[in-house]
Amino acid sequence: MEESIMHPYTLCDSKTGGKQGFSTLDSAREALLGWILLQRQAGEVVVETDTGQWHDSRITRWIADRENNIVRLDP
């Protein structure tokens, strides 16, 4: 089965180029929110860009759909 069918949403990472697949948008959003919370608890400033990507001082993370469009955290 194709990866995009099993995991239509991916959490992308600018530092590693990695993509973590998720079967639902809710689970991808939960993962991104978890990263944001961890970074903020560590004292990092995490902000959303106009494109819907989130970044701290070292990395940018975002959710993409199967067409590679950025999906905003808040609908």
Give me the residue spans of the domains in the chain. 3-71
If one compares 17 and 59, the residue with the highest pLDDT of the two is 59
Positive or negative: CA dihedral 34, 69, 55, 12: positive
pLDDT tens digits, 8-18: 999 999 988 88
Q: Mean of the pLDDT values across residues 45-56?
A: 96
> What pLDDT is stored for residue 4 in this prediction?
53
Q: Which two tokens stand for residue 30?
A: 């939960």
Q: What percent of the chain has pLDDT over 90?
A: 81
Question: Residue 35: is its pLDDT beyond 90?
Answer: yes
- Residue 64 corresponds to which amino acid? A
Whether the pLDDT of residue 1 is over 50: the answer is: no
